Chains A and B, each alone.
Chain A
């Protein structure tokens, strides 16, 4: 790809990016959100036509005018959001759009044999008859990779493939990528998890503001700090900001919380001014516990006390009323209304406070929002900017602003930094510190162990819906220790 330029109304997303990819190598493509990675990938996938610049494959200039043409050039893109048809089986998804036929009829048996071979090659045992929505995220990802292989791709682009995976699953994926590389397939690997990129990539290209700022093929001796410096354009001092905790009385006490298999007999306490981390693999019941506390789901049994008084876990509305607020794992589907403006999203839970004589005082709503735009450093082009057009970090800040305006003092952060770039991550950490300094309580759920360790005063580890262990304040937790608790020791 040479000198690719692509403009959107009002933005020049790519200002002449060049990128070289060789057979059988893994190219790490990194950059902050908005640096132009997605746009570049969409050009490669045929979803966007560049304004200028050219793409050539094996010396031949190609015009990737549509996704179909891109596929016929044997380019496969695996997007961050899984794009399988949820109600079709793994096999059907694998051959979707390129079904194999015998005498005009679908050749189920042939497809199945080949599918089995593919998954064997990937070292994954996947139930070919299961509908895709019943598979785990890691399994779905494998199906996507298999689909790329089934179409005989020679270039595979993976956009944040590990964002939703647990450490164990990540290791498996890394092994698969190693195999693909040996088979001569070229891979572009995009990730915010810089350790992974360092471990995997043969070469690295860094984008910033639509330009290539660094290309590095000497991987040995390359540090994470160096990558971050390239990405943000300045050195970053510390990954997790320090704070002096002033931990107060118990605010929230949970006793024997249970819901089916997902959450079983979970008990813990959360104090004022404390960050309580919950570690565990995906599916260990962390998110489910948070949803029960917030009233998003109904608990089978268990009791919750707020400031010593038993409270009923009813609906989200009641939890919000009590100051318990959830920043959901999935901002796009659960946290925000993407087609509405940032201000409207901010105002939604707070409308009662802005009502004067039955009418919503939009001027007051606006003023309140502007105050948060300032204090949380939210980057919006204007109050009517759609939430869907904000970057991940700013979306998270809008969600936080709406709860802070609602006087939330028990905040449940579920994967607060997933898919958010390094600079914005740091800001979220600073905000969490600021919240607990004000005496608020934070429940921090995260798959990134360094984050849980770096940010929490105390950590509980969940496995299969149960609390498996707790690391008290003062003991310095290590990743190995937490991982040991999170993984089933009997396995």
Chain B
């Protein structure tokens, strides 16, 4: 083989077969949840502003209506502020329930005003009051009811749904990074589910001690820090036991799983803690520059972990230890330190996951995140990391986590029962692993022939 033909390994599509599966799933659920949607977003806003400004005489009163806490309220607010800025004074905004609209109509009728039209969208457009304006208020019978033009769009691909998927999976996905590292060293960490609860109750307890609902942002930060660091230390201890005494990781982390769960209950006396300030939920529900924090966290941590695993010395050591610990040791790799390190990372990730989970639900309970370790392991394995160690990809794990989340979310949208969901998800995990094996052995046919 000549030197020239040596080149960098190219990324083969097969390496990311799971990515293809994920895209296919998204496509499937998009098709299945395709529906006529009332318009929303900037386009709908400008369409409505146009209606209000140009198609309805500005001398008449115009109602801009939205249902509280829905997209239609957001739309109503944007349209209202735009038309006010354009100098229209006869517009009135009604955001609330059908009763609020009826009261507003009554008021206008009592005033003897003239209704030029109603601009509305989404849920509010379906209110019965609107249909019956001509019946109940004969004076307004000529008024026009305008809604943004409808469009065909899947429920699955709505921005709110995509964010829901991220929120559903962010905790599992972040912990799965640590688990990927552990599994690449041919280990396993069963303690992460309990560590979520422990981290959550530790951080919430610290916040409660430092003022509860009135605690400052610093107190919240300190609480999260305490939760993450304690779990990191517990992980380090687990890794130390595994590497120093060569005890099976399964047993060590099984023990720690029970100890951590016990500690979580002991910390709160069995109760959950919800005396937390608003800043506590900012971590998982807030936004930075318009982007949800959860998305930012996922991108940052996965980016960092990917570069760490593929482009640094320590990443290569982790793969080497999982590939053949004895050969790695005899090549000068600090095997024990590497093993302790990956369990510490797994603990830290579980700690962060606990803080996120508590922040998402605005409370910390010692019994939260039960069985999460199994979802985490499933995400890693579906992502193509082999339980026998030495191979696997962090980005594969991200894809694995999203496959699980997308399946759950898609089935929710289709109204499938939760029992059926659990059954299906389990089947998908087994199928995913089988497909991955088939890919490794060079094709379905070779795989089925068993050679």
Q: Is the CB of A366 within 8 A of B332?
A: no
Within 8 Å CB of A382, what residues of B? Answer: 1, 5-7, 9
Question: B110: CB under 8 A from chain A?
Answer: no
Within 8 Å CB of A384, what residues of B? Answer: 9
Within 8 Å CB of B442, what residues of A? Answer: 9
Question: A230: CB under 8 A from chain B?
Answer: no
Expressed in whole angstroms, the minimum distance between the Cβ of B248 and any Cβ of chain A is 16
Instruction: Specify which of A340, A349, A384 lies most central, judged by the most chain B CB atoms within 10 Å of its CB.
Output: A340
Within 8 Å CB of B451, what residues of A? Answer: 47-49
Q: Is the CB of B5 within 8 A of A294?
A: no
Within 8 Å CB of A370, what residues of B? Answer: 3, 6
Answer whether A360 and B316 are a contact pair too, CB < 8 Å, given A317-B332, A349-B332, A373-B6.
yes
- B contact residues, total (Cβ < 8 Å): 31
Within 8 Å CB of B328, what residues of A? Answer: 337, 348
Q: Is the CB of A402 within 8 A of B331?
A: yes
Question: A351: CB under 8 A from chain B?
Answer: yes
A351→B9 CA distance, assembly (Å) = 18
Expressed in whole angstroms, the minimum distance between the Cβ of B348 and any Cβ of chain A is 20
Answer whether A383 and B323 are a contact pair too, CB < 8 Å, given A320-B332, A339-B391, A359-B312.
no
Residues A320-374 near B (CB distance < 8 A): 320-321, 326, 328, 333-341, 344, 347-349, 351-352, 355, 358-360, 362-363, 366, 370, 373-374
Expressed in whole angstroms, the minimum distance between the Cβ of B168 and any Cβ of chain A is 34
Among residues of A, the one whose C-beta sits closest to the C-beta of B389 is: A339
Q: Is the CB of B3 within 8 A of A316?
A: no
Q: Is the CB of A359 within 8 A of B311?
A: yes
Q: Is the CB of B313 within 8 A of A366?
A: no
Q: Is the CB of B3 within 8 A of A348?
A: no
A113→B52 CA distance, assembly (Å) = 103
Question: A380: CB under 8 A from chain B?
Answer: yes
Q: Is the CB of A351 within 8 A of B313?
A: yes
Q: Is the CB of B327 within 8 A of A333?
A: yes
Among residues of A, the one whose C-beta sits closest to the C-beta of B313 is: A351
A41→B326 CA distance, assembly (Å) = 30
Question: B329: CB under 8 A from chain A?
Answer: yes
Question: B334: CB under 8 A from chain A?
Answer: yes
Question: B324: CB under 8 A from chain A?
Answer: yes
Within 8 Å CB of A380, what residues of B? Answer: 1, 6
Among residues of A, the one whose C-beta sits closest to the C-beta of B386 is: A339
Among residues of A, the one whose C-beta sits closest to the C-beta of B446 is: A9
Q: Is the CB of B326 within 8 A of A340?
A: no
Q: Write the B267-280 contact mask toward A (1 if CB under 8 angstroms, else 0).
A: 00000000000000
Within 8 Å CB of B423, what residues of A? Answer: none
Within 8 Å CB of B334, what residues of A? Answer: 317
Expressed in whole angstroms, the minimum distance between the Cβ of B86 and any Cβ of chain A is 54
Q: Write the A395-408 contact mask toward B (1 if CB under 8 angstroms, else 0).
A: 00000001000000
Q: Is the CB of A339 within 8 A of B331?
A: no
Within 8 Å CB of B324, what residues of A? Answer: 333-334, 336-339
Within 8 Å CB of B307, what residues of A? Answer: 359
Q: Which one of B3, B6, B313 contacts A355 once the chains associate, using CB atoms below 8 Å?
A: B313
Q: Is the CB of B331 within 8 A of A347?
A: no
Answer whether A347 and B3 are a contact pair too, CB < 8 Å, given A337-B390, A341-B9, A402-B331.
no
Q: Is the CB of A316 within 8 A of B330?
A: yes
Within 8 Å CB of A320, what residues of B? Answer: 331-332
Answer whether A349 and B316 are a contact pair too, CB < 8 Å, given A333-B324, A359-B311, A382-B1.
no
Question: A243: CB under 8 A from chain B?
Answer: no
Q: Is the CB of B330 within 8 A of A366?
A: no
Residues B1-32 near A (CB distance < 8 A): 1, 3, 5-9
Q: Write the A115-143 contact mask toward B (1 if CB under 8 angstroms, else 0).
A: 00000000000000000000000000000
Question: A296: CB under 8 A from chain B?
Answer: yes
Expressed in whole angstroms, the minimum distance between the Cβ of B335 and any Cβ of chain A is 10
Question: A381: CB under 8 A from chain B?
Answer: yes
Among residues of A, the one whose C-beta sits closest to the C-beta of B314 is: A351
Question: A379: CB under 8 A from chain B?
Answer: yes
Expressed in whole angstroms, the minimum distance between the Cβ of B323 and any Cβ of chain A is 4
Within 8 Å CB of A348, what residues of B? Answer: 316-317, 320, 328, 331-333
A47→B450 CA distance, assembly (Å) = 10
Q: Is the CB of A344 within 8 A of B316?
A: yes
Answer whether A326 and B330 are a contact pair too, CB < 8 Å, given A340-B390, A366-B6, A370-B3.
yes
Q: Is the CB of A337 within 8 A of B327?
A: yes
A315→B57 CA distance, assembly (Å) = 89
Answer whether A334 and B332 are a contact pair too, CB < 8 Å, given A339-B390, A340-B320, A360-B312.
no
Q: Is the CB of A381 within 8 A of B332?
A: no
Q: Which one of B323, B330, B333 contacts A340 once the chains associate, using CB atoms below 8 Å?
A: B323
Answer whether A360 and B323 are a contact pair too, CB < 8 Å, given A326-B330, A339-B391, A370-B3.
no
Q: Is the CB of B320 within 8 A of A337?
A: yes
Q: Which one of B1, B311, B330 contacts A296 once the chains associate, using CB atoms below 8 Å?
A: B330
Among residues of A, the one whose C-beta sits closest to the C-beta of B319 is: A340
Q: Which one of B8, B320, B326, B330 contacts A294 once the chains associate, using CB atoms below 8 Å?
A: B330
Q: Which one of A338, A340, A352 contacts B313 once the chains associate, using CB atoms below 8 Å?
A: A352
Q: Is the CB of A374 within 8 A of B320?
A: no
Q: Is the CB of A351 within 8 A of B316?
A: yes
Expressed in whole angstroms, the minimum distance between the Cβ of B316 and any Cβ of chain A is 6
Q: Is the CB of B326 within 8 A of A334?
A: yes
A9→B442 CA distance, assembly (Å) = 9
Q: Is the CB of A339 within 8 A of B6?
A: no
Within 8 Å CB of B6, what residues of A? Answer: 366, 370, 373, 380, 382-383
Q: Write the A39-62 contact mask toward B (1 if CB under 8 angstroms, else 0).
A: 000000001110000000000000
A373→B449 CA distance, assembly (Å) = 36
Among residues of B, the one whose C-beta sits closest to the C-beta of A328 is: B330
A6→B15 CA distance, assembly (Å) = 27
A317→B329 CA distance, assembly (Å) = 8
Q: Write the B319-358 contact mask toward A (1 if CB under 8 angstroms, else 0).
A: 1100110111111111000000000000000000000000
A321→B320 CA distance, assembly (Å) = 19
Instruction: Specify which of B3, B313, B320, B327 lies most central, judged by the most chain A CB atoms within 10 Å of its CB.
Output: B327
Q: Which one of B3, B312, B320 contacts A358 once the chains associate, using CB atoms below 8 Å?
A: B312
Expressed in whole angstroms, the minimum distance between the Cβ of A58 and any Cβ of chain B is 27
Within 8 Å CB of B330, what residues of A? Answer: 294, 296, 316, 326, 328, 334-335
Within 8 Å CB of B329, what residues of A? Answer: 296, 316
A383→B324 CA distance, assembly (Å) = 19
Expressed in whole angstroms, the minimum distance between the Cβ of A341 and any Cβ of chain B is 7
Within 8 Å CB of A316, what residues of B? Answer: 329-332
Residues B393-451 near A (CB distance < 8 A): 442, 449, 451
Residues B160-191 near A (CB distance < 8 A): none
Expressed in whole angstroms, the minimum distance between the Cβ of B444 and any Cβ of chain A is 14
Expressed in whole angstroms, the minimum distance between the Cβ of B277 and any Cβ of chain A is 38
A355→B308 CA distance, assembly (Å) = 13
* 25 A-B residue pairings within 8 Å (CB atoms): A47-B451, A49-B449, A296-B329, A316-B329, A317-B333, A334-B326, A335-B327, A336-B324, A337-B320, A337-B323, A339-B323, A344-B320, A348-B331, A349-B333, A351-B316, A351-B317, A355-B313, A358-B312, A360-B316, A362-B8, A362-B311, A370-B6, A373-B3, A380-B6, A383-B6
Q: Add 6 more A-B contacts to A321-B332, A338-B324 (CB < 8 A).
A: A337-B323, A340-B390, A359-B311, A360-B313, A373-B6, A382-B5
- The 9 lowest CB-CB distance pairs between A and B, nearest first, are A337-B323, A384-B9, A351-B313, A317-B332, A320-B332, A337-B324, A359-B311, A349-B332, A349-B331
